[in-house]
Amino acid sequence: MKFPMLKTMLLAGATVLGMAGGASALTFGSIPGAPGVTNDALVPLFGAGTTSLNGWYGAELFLIAGGPVSITATYLGSEAGNNNSFSFGGTTQQTGGGTNTFNAAGISSWVVNNVAPGSLVFSFSTSGGGLSVSNGSNPDNTVPAASPGVNFFASFVGNQNASGGQGVYLFFDDDGAANDDNHDDMVVRLDITGGKITVVPLPAAGLLLLTALGGVAALRRRRKAA
């Protein structure tokens, strides 16, 4: 006996899991994204010999928690001729053009309290063309510079192959794939106490998947009773 309803439910669950990340084109990859390019942040932040870092292009970051939490934003440095900035929780950190400084312990930091579960509200911007990118509209690294020309790369603290954790590094690239593509134009780390930051909105996707699995059980019970 075939189960067309089961197939529909499972496809719906898979679609939500695949689309997680909103308008973003979520892609796992590594920085720097172009051959022969150096990311000047990697050695100061992760130690000698570090030439690349795994993580996510096109990510939208979500907070999963039982209630409002506090998130610490730490500015780790930049290598950019442009004046770039990061805004989160009413605070904006600027780099100052022409900087080339990184510090694993952080250059400055601030705490954002009462952050509710859901998509985090933050953005990067650059004086180069007056472009900006906010969480939820982060393009994949393959998007041409004209649309919109900037993006950030996300890598989770402690496990660069993970899709979530209690801390995440954000590497901003102010010229997208059209220029050096090294993603060291501004680096920020977000750390949370309690809860989890993820590139996949697990509560919504998990709920639909559980609904589909519940449908499987119901169909099986119905089949046995027939």
- On whether the CB atoms of residues 86 and 65 are closer than 8 A, the answer is no
Q: For residue range 117-162, what is the model confidence (pLDDT) as tens digits? A: 999 999 999 998 888 999 999 988 876 655 667 899 999 999 999 9
Q: For residue range 4-22, what is the model confidence (pLDDT) as tens digits? A: 444 443 333 333 333 344 4
Least confident of 63-67, 117-121, 167-171: 63-67
Cβ-Cβ contacts under 8 Å for 210 (sequence gap 6 or more)? none
Whether this model's pTM surpasses 0.85 = no
Domain boundaries defined on the chain:
1-20+202-226, 24-200
Phi, psi of 45 (to 5 degrees): -90, -30
Measure the CA–CA gap between 170 and 184, rounded to whole angstroms. 10
Residue 194 has what DSSP assignment?
S
Measure the CA–CA gap between 57 and 20, rounded to whole angstroms. 13
The H or E element spanning position 174 is: none
As assigned by CATH, the class of the 24-200 domain is mainly beta
